[in-house]
Amino acid sequence: MVKVGIYGATGYMGAEALRILLQHPQVEVVWATSRDGEEALNYHKNFYKRGIQFTKPEEVSGKDCDVVFFSTPTGLAAEMGSKFLHEGSRIIDFGADFRLKDQATWEEVYGRKHPNWELAKQAVYGINELHKEAIVNTKVVANPGCFSSSAILALAPLIKENLIDCDKIIVDGMSGTAGAGVDLDFALHHPQMHNNILPYNVVNHRHSYEIEQELMGICNEKVNINFTSYYVPISRGILSACHCFPVEHVTRQSLLELYNEFYKDSYFIKVIDIPENKDCAWNYMPYPWVSSVVSTNFCHIGLSVDEKRNRIVVFSVLDSIGKGGAQVGVQNMNLIMGLDEREGLENYGLYPY
Amino acid sequence: MVKVGIYGATGYMGAEALRILLQHPQVEVVWATSRDGEEALNYHKNFYKRGIQFTKPEEVSGKDCDVVFFSTPTGLAAEMGSKFLHEGSRIIDFGADFRLKDQATWEEVYGRKHPNWELAKQAVYGINELHKEAIVNTKVVANPGCFSSSAILALAPLIKENLIDCDKIIVDGMSGTAGAGVDLDFALHHPQMHNNILPYNVVNHRHSYEIEQELMGICNEKVNINFTSYYVPISRGILSACHCFPVEHVTRQSLLELYNEFYKDSYFIKVIDIPENKDCAWNYMPYPWVSSVVSTNFCHIGLSVDEKRNRIVVFSVLDSIGKGGAQVGVQNMNLIMGLDEREGLENYGLYPY
Amino acid sequence: MVKVGIYGATGYMGAEALRILLQHPQVEVVWATSRDGEEALNYHKNFYKRGIQFTKPEEVSGKDCDVVFFSTPTGLAAEMGSKFLHEGSRIIDFGADFRLKDQATWEEVYGRKHPNWELAKQAVYGINELHKEAIVNTKVVANPGCFSSSAILALAPLIKENLIDCDKIIVDGMSGTAGAGVDLDFALHHPQMHNNILPYNVVNHRHSYEIEQELMGICNEKVNINFTSYYVPISRGILSACHCFPVEHVTRQSLLELYNEFYKDSYFIKVIDIPENKDCAWNYMPYPWVSSVVSTNFCHIGLSVDEKRNRIVVFSVLDSIGKGGAQVGVQNMNLIMGLDEREGLENYGLYPY
Amino acid sequence: MVKVGIYGATGYMGAEALRILLQHPQVEVVWATSRDGEEALNYHKNFYKRGIQFTKPEEVSGKDCDVVFFSTPTGLAAEMGSKFLHEGSRIIDFGADFRLKDQATWEEVYGRKHPNWELAKQAVYGINELHKEAIVNTKVVANPGCFSSSAILALAPLIKENLIDCDKIIVDGMSGTAGAGVDLDFALHHPQMHNNILPYNVVNHRHSYEIEQELMGICNEKVNINFTSYYVPISRGILSACHCFPVEHVTRQSLLELYNEFYKDSYFIKVIDIPENKDCAWNYMPYPWVSSVVSTNFCHIGLSVDEKRNRIVVFSVLDSIGKGGAQVGVQNMNLIMGLDEREGLENYGLYPY
C-alpha cells in the first residue's frame, strides 16, 4: 500500500484528492490536514460519518508517507516541500510553485520572490502524456494548472506536426465556478452568478506561461497563447476552445487521425470522432461534452476545420479538479510508485450529470 | 462473478445501473440493451471508447444471467419477467410493475390491467432497510420509486414508534429533472426550466400508494401520505420534506437518538446530527444537503422539531437514480447473490457537486 | 410628481425599488443612498451610464420627499423613521421593524428590544389585498416579508371561509437565492449551491408570526403556520406550497370559484384555473410557474384537492423582491399618494425568463 | 398610435416582441398570431389573464397595420411579405430571409432557393448604429441575427479605424438556451444541459456571413469572421468574445476612447470603462456582464489589450431576444414611424437577474 498525506484538504482540490485516494485500492491515506480539524466535516458532508479524520497541519510529518500532496496557497509548497522530502516523502504540488522552468518569469508572473528555487529545479511538469518517463523518476511533481492541461492536451498534436501559426493561437477557457475555489466573492454569490457569464484574467493569464513553456518544449520555437478565461454557471468542468490558423491544408478527417495516433497510448484521452452531418438534427453530437467527464480523470477532445476560412478549432473538456487537478495528481502518483496508471481512476462520468 | 443483464439501458435509470455494474468488482455485465444498438454511444458520451456494447433487446436471453435488471415502460417487466425467470435469472424491476401488493389498487393507480399478477405476488419490495431477509430469499425484487424510498426512510422510525398522527402526514418531494426521464417535454426544455420550479402530480401521486403500503406494514394502522412533487432546476437528487404532527412530546435530540438507533445497522443511511445553533452564521449546516449524496447509494436524514407549534419535519436526501433507483437495485442484487451489501457502492459524493 | 427617497439602495431590495421607481411615470427619485456612494455603480451594472447617482446616507433629508423607503438592517428604520416623518415624509419599511402588532412577540422573535414602539403602533401591515383602506390613510407602512405575502395571499380565502383546520397548516416556501440578500455565505457560494437545495429556518421562522397575525385577523381564531423555507438554485422568485386539511367537502372547482371571487378586485392576483387533465401530456400546466411572475408585481395562485385523502394544496408564486418586496411597496406608495395602484407596475413577466 | 401585427407570436422571439409592444406607450397591437390560438395562453403564463388574444394566422391582414413583425421559419417572411406590403404595412423580419445582399450566397448558406429576391433587395439590414438613415426610409427591415448584432457592434470601431488584421478575427459566442428557440431537442433537455456547455455550428456559422457583409461594408476590404457558438446553461443573453490581432500599437485606454467616441450618439450602447486593477479583489468588474442587460435593449461593450502578446479582446453582451432580436426590431420600428428611438425601450436590467 502506498502511504499518502494531503497537506490542505479543506478546499475543493484537496478534498477531491482525498475522495479519490480514499477510494484507491492501493492507497492508505495517512493524514489529511485542515486548519478546522474535525469541524471540517460539518461542511464536507460527502464524507459525513464515513470515518474520515482531519488533522491540524502542525501535527503531521512526511516520515509516514510515500507521497505528500500539497493543495496550498502559492509559496507554501516551496517553503514546506524540503522538509517533507528530507523526511522521505515525494511531493506533488497542486499549486503553481514548481510549474515554470525560468525563475525570473515565475517571479514576474506571481509577483513575488520564489521561496526555494533549488527545489523548483527538481520538479517535473506533470502532463504525463508528454513527460511520463521523467515523472516516473522524479520526487517532485508540478501538477499543471487546470486550463493548462486542457489547452496543452488540445494543442500538442498540432504543435508537434508544425501545422499551425504558433504566433496566433486563441484559447477561450470556460470553467465551472469550482475553479474559483472555496473563497467567497461577490461575483460568485449564487444570485449574481446563476444567470451570468464572467470573463476574468482576460489577457496575460498566469496559465498562459505554462502552456507556452510546454508547447515550446515540443516545437522548439516561440509559441504565443492568447488565453482568456470565463466562469459559466456550472460547478465543475472546463471546456477549452482552441482556435488556430493552419499553415498547410488539413481536413477534419486528417486531424482526427493525427489525434487518434498521437494519443493512442494515452488511456485517459478520448478523441471524439463522431461524424459531422449538417442534415442531422443532432448537430450537438460530434463535439465533446463537459458533462461527460466531470468527476473523472478523462479528457475528451474533438475538433472541426473551416476549410473556407482556414481555421482549426479544437475543443477539450475535463474536470478542473479531476483530470485538470487532483485526479491527474493521483495518476502521477501511480506512475511514481510503480502502479498501473489507471489504478483508482477508472470511474465513468455520470449520465446525466 | 455475478453475471447480469440490463434490459433497457438507454434511459437514465438503466444507464446508471450500467455505470455502477461496470465498476462493480464482482460483476460481469453480460449484456445491456438499447433499441438504438451501437448508436446509443453517441449520446452516452460518458461511456465513449470505453469498450461498452449495447445489444438490441431481441438478441438477449436470461440463460446467461444471474440477475436481469428491468428499466422499461410500465407493464413490460411483468410481461417479459417470466421468460427470464424460466431461463434461470432473478429479476429486479426499476419500474412499478411489482410494487403494490393489491391488484385492484395497482390497476386503479396505473389505469390498466396488470399483465401478470402471479409474478407480482412473488415480488419483495426492495427497501432493504425494512425487508433485508425477504430480499435475500426472493427471485423478484420490486425496486421502490425514488420518492418512495426517500419518504419511507424518513418516516419509518416515527411510524414504528407511533409518535405521529398517521392521518395527516405531508410530504413535499423536490426532485432534479433527471427524475422526469429522458423523454422531452416542453416544461423541461432548458430555457423553460432553468429559472422555474414545477409542481406536478400534486395530489394522489402514484408513489403515495407504495409509501402508504410500506408504512402501514410497519404500524398496522391506516397511514395517509399527502404527497406533492416538484421539479427544481438541478439534474439529479431528491429532497423530501416530511411534516408530521407528534402525538406525544418529542425533542430534536430524542428523535436524533431514535433515528440513529433505528438505522444503526444500515450502512447507507446517515443521520445528520449537527447541532442547531441560532447564533451560528452557518444556519444551513444542521440539515442534509442533496449535493452530498448525488451519484451515491447513501441517504442522509436530518430533522427538526417545532415544540411551540407541535410539528416534526424530517428531511431525507438521496439520488433519484442512485439510492432512489439503480444503486439500491445493485444493493439488492448484492444481498440476493450473497455478496457484502456494500460491494461496488462505497463511492463518496462529489465535493463540490 | 411624487418625490421619493430610498434609504439603502445597495442591496437587492433597495436596488429593485430604485429600478421600479426610476421607470415609474409619476415618480421622481430624489435620492438613493449607498455607503459606497458612486462606487456602487461598478456592481449595479444594470444602471451603468444611465445617469443614476448614489448618495451617502448622512447627506439625505426627508424634507425633499413625499415617501422614504427603508431597506436597512433590522432596527434602523425604527431608529431613523421618526426623523423622516417629522421632516414631512411618509415611510415604507421593507424590513421587519413594524410588522408585528405585539411588542413582546416582536422582541422575542427578533431577539432585541424594539427601538421605537410608538412608531410601530402607527404602522399598517402592507398586504393591500386585505388592508387597502388603512394603507391609503397611513404614514407608516410595514411592508410584508416575502414568504408572508406569498402564504397570506394563498391562504386568506380558505381562512375567511373557515374551510380548513387552522391548527395544522403546513407551508413549504421555496425561494431563489436573492432572498438571502447580497451578503456572502459559504452555502450560497455558486459551486456549493448550483446543484443543491438548502433547507433553512426550518421551524419557527420569523415570517410565521406575521402570517399567523394576519390570518388570525381574518378569522379571529388561533392559526398555526408550520412554515419551512428552502433555497433552490434560481435567483429570484418564491413558490409557496400551502397544505391544508379541509373541514368540509370542497372540490378544486369550488375553490377556484372562491379564489376568483375573493380576488376579483385584486388586479395583481391571478388565479390559474387551467383544467387538470390526467390524460394530457402537459401535466405541468394547471399550476402557477414562478418563472412567469419574476420581475413583476403579480402573484399567481393555483391549487388542487385530494378528495381521497382530504387535503387541499394551494400554490402561490411571486418575485420575492417584486410582489414580495419592493414592487408591492411601490403599490402601497401609489395608494398612499392617491395614484392608481397599477401605475408603474404593469410590466409583464419575461418569457422565457 | 402605431398599429402593429405580430406574425408568429408563439415562439420566444415573437412573444418577446409582443411583450415589449404591449408595454409601448405609442403602440397598439392589432393582432398577434399563434397556430394554437387561445390555447397558447396556457403556456405563455406571463400573459395569463392580462387580456391578450392570439389569432390564427389565416385570419389576419396587413390593412390594419403600420408595421408587421415576422417571427417565422426561414422563407415564410419572403413568401408572405409582399402581401402585407401591398396591404400597406411595412415589414420587419426577425428571421434570415432578407439579411444577405447576395442571392447566390443566401442560397448557398440557407440551402434553398430564395422565394422572393425582389423583396430582399428592398431590405435594409437593421443595425441602426450603422444604418439609421436607411432604416428611417425603408419599408422592409432585415433584423440582424443575435450573434451578428453582438459581433458587429463589438468589432465595428476596430474595423472602421483599420486597427486589426481582418483576416484573422476569432469570435466565440456564448448564448443562453433561449437562442435555440422553443423546439425541443435532446441536448437541451434540462437534465442534459444543466451542467453542460454545448458547442454547435462550430465553423461556417450562418451568422458569419452577415457579420462579414456588414464589416466589409465599413472597411471595403475582405473580412474573415471565424465564429463559433456555444450554449451555456443560462436561458437568455449572449456574451461574444472577439479576439483580434492589432496592426498598430493600441492600449486599452486608447480603445476605450475610440469606442466611447464611436458610440457617443448610440443611446443603447454602453462602453464599460471601469479600470482594470490587478491588485483589486474584484477582478471581474471591468468587463460587461450579460446578466445586466437581459430583458433590455442595451448592449454593453468592454475590452482589454494584451500588449505583450499583441491581442485585443472585445466583449459584448446583449439579450438574444432583446437588443439581439425583438427589442432592436421595436427600435427600428420607432425609427421608421418617426418616434423617438428610445420609446418603449428604456427599461433597466434586473439586479440580480
How confident is the model over C181-193, as pLDDT tens digits? 999 999 999 999 9
**Does D287 fall in a domain?**
yes
* Position with higher pLDDT, B42 vs A319: A319
**Arithmetic mean of pLDDT, A348-353:** 97
Say yes or no: A201 and A304 in one domain: yes
**Prior bond to B191 cis, omega within 30?**
no
Q: How do residues B195-218 score in pLDDT, each as one tens digit?
A: 999 999 999 999 999 999 999 999
The overall average pLDDT reported for chain B is 96
CATH of residue D189's domain is 3.30.360.10
Residues C275 and C185 in one domain: yes
Looking at the fold, whether A7 and A56 belong to one and the same domain comes out as: yes
- Residue-level pLDDT at C278: 67
Work out the pLDDT band at C277, boundaries 50, 70, 90: confident
Position B279 scores a pLDDT of 66
Is B300 in the same domain as B184? yes
Read off the pLDDT of residues D20-40 as tens digits, 9 standing for 90 and up: 999 999 999 999 999 988 888
Residue in chain C lying closest to A188 (CA): C190
B190–D236 C-beta distance less than 8 A: no
Report the chain D residue with the minimal C-alpha distance to residue B12: D191
Is B272 in the A-facing interface, judged by CB distances under 8 Å?
yes
Overall average pLDDT of the D248-274 stretch:
98
| Enclosing domain of residue C234 | 147-318
Residues 45-74, chain A, touching B (beta carbon < 8 A): 45-50
Query: Domains in chain A: how many in total?
Result: 2
Q: How many CB atoms lie within 10 A of CB D238?
A: 33
Residue C173 has pLDDT above 80, yes or no: yes
SS3 assignment, position C69: strand
Quote the pLDDT of residue C281: 63
Is D127 within a domain?
no
Residue B307 lies in a domain: yes
Q: Which residues of C are catalytic?
A: 146
At C195-222, the pLDDT tens digits run 999 999 999 999 999 999 999 999 999 9
Please tell me the least confidently modeled range out of A59-63, B111-115, B276-280. B276-280
Which residue would you say has higher pLDDT here, C88 or B283?
C88
Q: Do D95 and D172 have their domain in common?
A: no
Interface pTM (ipTM) of the complex? 0.97
Taking 70 as the threshold, does the pLDDT of residue A281 lie above it? no
- Domain identity same for D191 and D298: yes
pLDDT greater at residue C37 or residue D3: D3
**B275 and B195 housed in the same domain:** yes
Give the neighbours of chain A: at least 3 Cβ pairs within 8 Å.
Answer: B, C, D
Q: Is C320 helix (H, G, I), strand (E, B) or coil?
A: coil
Same domain, A161 and A257: yes
Residue C187's pLDDT is 96
- Do B183 and B258 have their domain in common? yes
Write the pLDDT tens digit of every residue in A243-274. Answer: 999 999 999 999 999 999 999 999 999 999 99
Say if the Cβ atoms of B232 and C174 lie within 8 Å. yes
D-chain residue closest to C318, CA distance? D46
Q: Does residue B280 surpass a pLDDT of 90?
A: no
CA–CA gap between residue A261 and residue A269 (Å, rounded): 11
What does the alpha-carbon distance between residue B264 and residue D336 come to, in Å, rounded to a whole number? 75
Name which of A30-39, C153-162, D84-93 the model is least confident about. A30-39
Taking CA atoms, B49 is separated from A155, B2, B28, B44, D192, in Å, by 21, 24, 18, 10, 20
- Cβ–Cβ of C190/A235 closer than 8 Å? yes
How does the average pLDDT of chain A come out, rounded? 96
Question: Residue with C-alpha cell 504543435?
Answer: A159
Cβ distance D259 to D157 under 8 Å?
Answer: yes
**Is residue B348 in a domain?**
no
- The label of the residue with cell 460483476 reads B27
Q: Does C312 touch chain A (CB under 8 A)?
A: no
Question: Is D204 found in the same domain as D66?
Answer: no
Does B235 contact D186 at a Cβ distance shorter than 8 Å? no
Does C239 fall in a domain?
Answer: yes
With respect to residue D205, please indicate whether it lies within any of the assigned structural domains.
Answer: yes
Q: Which residues contact C310 (CB under 8 A, 6 or more apart)?
A: B224, C245, C246
Is D241 in the A-facing interface, judged by CB distances under 8 Å? yes
Residues C153 and C281 in one domain: yes
Q: Is D186–B189 a contact, with Cβ atoms under 8 angstroms apart? A: no
For the ranges A188-197, B172-181, C51-60, D32-41, the lowest mean pLDDT is seen at D32-41
Tell me which residue in C50, C349, C353 faces D348 most closely, judged by beta carbons.
C50
Looking at the domain assignment, is residue C349 inside a domain?
no
Q: Does D12 touch chain B (CB under 8 A)?
A: yes
Confidence of residue B281 (pLDDT cuts 50, 70, 90): low
Identify whether D162 is part of a domain. yes
φ, ψ of residue A139 in degrees (nearest 5): -110, -5
Q: Check whether C280 has a pLDDT greater than 70.
A: no
pLDDT for residue D277? 82
CATH code of the domain covering residue C41 = 3.40.50.720
Residues A260 and A155 in one domain: yes
Give the burial string for D87-109 (b: 16+ CB within 10 Å, else e): eebbbbbbbbbbbbbeeeebeeb
Q: What is the mean pLDDT of chain D?
A: 96
Neighbours of chain B (3+ CB pairs under 8 A): A, C, D
**Under the phi-then-psi rule, with left for phi > 0, alpha for psi from -120 to 50, and beta for the rest, what region is A8?**
left
